[in-house]
């Protein structure tokens, strides 16, 4: 593709992203949906571009999308709200991951897959996507604790999916398992990432406070973010969690500085800096979802159907994990939105490609169901959230209860009619 064509295409995608975002603000139809459709149009339908033509740049870009969206999302998280939501986020993360992996594994086996590739597909699709959840919940009017729970879940599940998938790959290749190593890898990944992100964030806000020129150079904060991500990944930990932690520290800089200095301090990030980071977030998010659309393959209908079946299943089992953490919560709209939040995304796309590269038997069939599941889950989430916000849908649990209630009412009516008929027959039999 010619350079001038590439530049023109980038400009068009940016403008389409702006209009999609504007439509979201006016109609509550998430921009994610339109961006993925644009990607499908560019890739599988018109064949104007393919993921292979982008090459190594795509892997670098998608990694940057993940870390930056989590960083920018962390800027809006208050530590007080974080402490309140930590238990619920951990509970919904673990329960939903276990249920999803189990369900996807059983479905894949029903489609004739062997156990190894089935459970690999389950761990790849076991989480929710930060790149979808973070921008979406920020635009929805939810209680702070509930929206934060979804953001944390999406970050935590990225780590769970990565560690679990890589562990399963090693088990398949070595034909052995060491549970101690798995647990050490999981908890070590969280601990190192939180430590690196937290320490780096604290030191950086001290530097921003003392050097005015540095505080006005917004791009320098992005440079530090990239260094943090690189160091954390080099330490075999989660760069995504480190980026989220760094963002949370930066977002709470005023309170942290006040505690450190013993007096009231200004926020280390100005309002213009936050706007700048928000615009970068918009830019990378726009191109990421167009790229996801380009990854779709329309040449294997059976595997696309598998992705659709998985989507329906994870949507139906989602209320179980939500119910475990929503006891006593009276906000029915928030609960319905939490039940609809099943999107898959970046982590799933990357892990599918890693699995294929490892030469696992049957892994060549993983890409299409993973990418189709990403599309279908994002589409389902988009449609459900739109219906919920406009009062057209009350959530999966409410829908199931309504169906059960209707069936119970119909059964009750039938019993009443039968009793009435039996009463009318009794006098005739007496005569």
Q: pLDDT by residue (tens digit) across 27-44?
A: 666 677 788 888 888 888
Whether the CA torsion 22, 28, 30, 35 is positive or negative: it is negative
| pLDDT computed for residue 354 by the predictor | 76
In this prediction, the residues of the chain whose per-residue pLDDT falls under 50 are: 431
Q: DSSP per residue over 228-296, as a string?
A: HHHHHHHTTS-HHHHHHHHHHHHHTHHHHHHHHHSS----SS-HHHHHHHHHHHHHHHHHHHHHHHHT-
User: For 76-102, b where at least 16 C-beta lie within 10 A, e where not — what string?
Assistant: bbeeebbeebeebbeebbbbbbebbbe
| pLDDT computed for residue 306 by the predictor | 95
| pLDDT computed for residue 431 by the predictor | 44
| pLDDT computed for residue 278 by the predictor | 83
User: Could you tell me the pTM of the whole model?
Assistant: 0.73
Distance between the two ends of the chain, CA-based, in angstroms?
Answer: 94
């Amino acid at each position: 593709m010619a350079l001038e064509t590439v530049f023109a295409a980038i400009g068009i995608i940016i403008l389409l992203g702006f209009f999609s975002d504007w439509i979201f603000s006016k109609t509550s139809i998430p921009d994610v949906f339109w961006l993925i459709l644009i990607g499908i149009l560019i890739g599988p339908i018109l064949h104007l571009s393919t993921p292979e033509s982008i090459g190594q740049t795509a892997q670098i870009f998608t990694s940057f999308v993940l870390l930056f969206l989590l960083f920018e999302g962390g800027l809006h998280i208050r530590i007080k709200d974080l402490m309140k939501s930590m238990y619920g986020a951990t509970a919904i993360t673990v329960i939903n991951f276990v249920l999803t992996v189990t369900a996807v594994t059983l479905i894949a086996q029903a489609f004739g897959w062997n156990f190894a590739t089935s459970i690999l597909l389950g761990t790849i699709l076991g989480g929710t996507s930060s790149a979808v959840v973070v921008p979406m919940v920020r635009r929805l009017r939810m209680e702070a604790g509930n929206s934060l729970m979804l953001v944390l879940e999406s970050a935590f599940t990225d780590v769970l999916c990565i560690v679990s998938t890589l562990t399963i790959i090693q088990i398949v290749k070595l034909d052995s398992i060491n549970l101690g190593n798995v647990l050490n890898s999981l908890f070590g990944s969280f601990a190192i990432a939180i430590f690196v992100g937290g320490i780096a964030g604290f030191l950086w806000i001290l530097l921003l406070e003392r050097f005015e020129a540095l505080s006005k150079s917004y791009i320098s904060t992005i440079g530090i973010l990239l260094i943090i991500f690189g160091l954390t990944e080099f330490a075999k930990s989660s760069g995504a969690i480190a980026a989220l932690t760094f963002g949370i520290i930066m977002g709470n800089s005023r309170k942290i500085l006040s505690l450190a200095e013993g007096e009231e301090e200004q926020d280390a990030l100005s309002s213009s800096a936050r706007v700048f980071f928000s615009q970068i977030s918009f830019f990378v998010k726009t191109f990421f979802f167009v790229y996801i659309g380009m990854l779709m393959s329309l040449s294997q209908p059976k595997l696309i159907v598998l992705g659709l079946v998985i989507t329906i299943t994870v949507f139906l089992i989602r209320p179980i994990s939500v119910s475990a953490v929503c006891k006593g919560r009276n906000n029915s709209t928030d609960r319905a939105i939490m039940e609809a939040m099943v999107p898959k995304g970046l982590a799933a796309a990357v892990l599918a490609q890693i699995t294929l590269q490892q030469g696992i038997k049957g892994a060549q069939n993983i890409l299409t169901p993973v990418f189709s599941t990403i599309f279908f889950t994002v589409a389902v989430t988009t449609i459900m959230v739109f219906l919920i916000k406009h009062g057209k849908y009350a959530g999966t649990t409410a829908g199931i209860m309504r169906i059960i209630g209707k069936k119970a009412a119909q059964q009750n009516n039938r019993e009443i009619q039968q009793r009435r008929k039996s009463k009318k027959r009794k006098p005739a039999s007496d005569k």
